[in-house]
Chain A
Amino acid sequence: MLELKNISVRLDSFVLEDVSLELGTNDYLALLGVSGAGKTVLLEVLAGLLKPEKGEILLNGKNITGRKIQDRRIGLVYQDLSLFPHLRVDANIAYPLRNQKMSKEERNEKVRELAREAGVEHLLDRYPGTLSGGEGQRVALARTLASDPDVLLLDEPLSNLDVKLKTGLRALLRRIHAQGKTVIHVTHDYMEAATLANKVAVIEHGRLVQTGTPEEVFRHPETEFVARFSGVKNLFRCRVEQGNEAAGMRHAIVGGELSIGFLGDNTESEGHVMIPQEDIIISESPLETSAVNGFQGHIRKVYLSGSGMEVVVEAGVEFVVSVSRQSVEKMDLQPGKQVWITFKASAVRYIV
């Protein structure tokens, strides 16, 4: 368990102020914020590379605020990876193992095991300068895991990678998390946060402005900054069932029983679906259209949003729908009213 209590740091003109967090052993926290918000500074404080002016860091109940970097059991993977350029990949991965008492054979075996897990076994005799971005990221992860940290800090691990590499690396991060490590993943991409983390913290100008589950933060933003920053409302964790394969149709089971049709050729059994709120049509009765997704529900909230309005409809899960003020008045949309929501399968975005 990792606890941050009122951490404050001053760096020239930048101030990280009064940051408090509490994470369980199996928590995966996405630390979201724009560039310069203080995400990396917070990671460096946790890793011991920066000393906080005040506040405490507790790991499994022990105060590690003043503990040496090398004794913290907090592993940090830098955004630029910081692989040692003069050492081969195998020596990079073995670097932390040389601090532990083990024979050369045991060390080599451990290096192979970590490399296999990270998918870099074929790169062991290469130098970092010859690796691609994705390969380097995997090697950096394997090296940090070799130090067997209790907490893994990842500084923008998916930045500068193409979509295919991101998908593979996301799967690796999930596997690592499943091993029972607390993960803090710094990103400015809310999609990354939504698809990986079970907790999200949003940082703005050196202060944590909101923390919670992805659903809480993205669907109930407490500040305009969070709302603008996240921009996602209809994001649901789902289980995928195969549908009409010939037509490329799949079904995402959301909230236990709601079945949302979407188009895709994925083979994963679990993921997320996202439906842009502008693509959902709200009506008083079922619509006869080509759209495959139609659900009945009742309105929970209606509120102003920018120049239009947003309507929250409970239909097994909460959907947020963007409508104009004229539509709200014309249809008399108000809390408690029974309505139908409709959207096309092609409007649904599936994210692994």
Chain B
Amino acid sequence: MAGIADFLDSLVGGFDLICYSIVIGGLFWGLFVLRPWNDTTESSTVLSQKTVQLIYKGGFYLAGAQLFKIVLKVWLMTAILERWPFPEFAETTQFVVGITRFLLTLLLAGYCFQFLRNNANSKTNWLIALLVAFPMIISGAWLVHAAGRFDNQSLLMSLTVIHQLAAAAWVGGVLQLVNLWLLKKDKQVSSQLWPLMLSRFSVLGVSSVIVILLSGLPIALQYIDSWNGLIGTGYGNLLVVKLILMALALGFAILNKRAVTDYQANANDCALIKRVPHYVEAESLVLITLLFTAASLASQPPAIDIPTLTTSWEEVLNTFHPQIPQTTSPTHSALLAGEAGRVAIIDQVPSIAATEWSNYNHNIAGIFLTVMSFLAMLSYVRKLPITPPILNKYLVITNYWPLGFVCLGVFLFFRSDAETWPLGPIGFWESTFNNGEVLQHRIATFLVLFLGIFELSARLTQNPKSKLPYVFPILAAFGGLMLLTHSHVGFQAKSAFLIQVGHTTMGIFSLILACGRWLELKLDRPGKEFAGFVSVAALFQIGIILMFYREPLY
């Protein structure tokens, strides 16, 4: 059961950060953007009540997540150490501060539920809520990476808390914008609030990004001491991923800012109504992924601590080097024969069969995706006005490209974990729930299968109001999230990193795939087609990476 505990532990880390952003970002939103005490119209009151609702609900969930984290730690320790971890665990900083933070979060959520909810237009109530949140924010300092460090501990703990606060202000604010848009769409709030809040949030958003960078830079310099550390370690790699995701989110933020400026200058609300809400949705998707990446980053050893395990940039580049895909697989018996030596601690013998088995899986999956995405790109050619009708007739077949996902899902089900059912001796349930990596592969397999079924149905449906098309971008985003937090056991640190770097790159493309498809469904022409093409082009890139994938010998 350690696999599940470990899996949930990581999951709760990301969920915790999302709830934290909803609570703390919501408070900043209320104090600096909404300012409900200045506007007590019915429309504004509805918005402030909904904002407070989000805050206290987020607070209760955050308290639950905090408590669950402690339970999971106990579960994980019992499974790994094979004994009950008490009373020793009760004396650790993690337990004491974890319980304290749980109680402080409960206090904050309780205050917002009891007092702020009943008078959401009172400035005093908002200020008291921030005051009540303060000890909870501070307590978080003992639960971060820096708490275990020997050098500059206090400085790093403080900077991390500031970094988290700024990130919460940004992410929480963007989530509040989504909330506002949904309320506006339901005609629960005045349409005037949309441009007003967007404009006010621009200031908070820009300030948050500046603080994120100012607090993040010294932390990065403390944990990464060389360019190689940035490029050649898991910690550095995830930091680069965070920067790329941040750049993506900032791209959407800039588009929003431009639309607001355009509206203020010309009173033209076309972009503000038709495009900005969907950019905000895509930005939320990116930022949520960013939070999960941040949670994953916290479990990586800092680059400065592992100079001998750092990979050179040449080795990293070599991972993406084009090569002939491996289209023949070692036999299942050859693979199993090498397993005992591969997993041994003493007299370990690297298994060529295991490496080739994995290469084959990745390369064939790459061929599937490359062909599918190529067909998908051709389907956009059909939509061009210059495409001759005769060609259009033959290109109809390109609409069925999502069928490839179904075939890929079946392939992965049989090939992902050779030592488990249906090919290997370990049973389905036993392998799924005792090994986090197998569990991850099983989820990925079902994810791919569902992707195919949903997307094919979505593209063939005649119902223009169907919600089916939205399933694909949601699942693709989650797939990306999984790739960004993917890890392998049984590898040396360098090998594990070389695998990670390919997976994280594909994770970024998955997110682009998700955002592109989402925007294709939401935007008007010509942005619609452009976003759709970018989406399938990202899928093509994933296919190419997989097609050239080479696993290190281990």
Q: Note whether A and B form a binding pair.
A: no
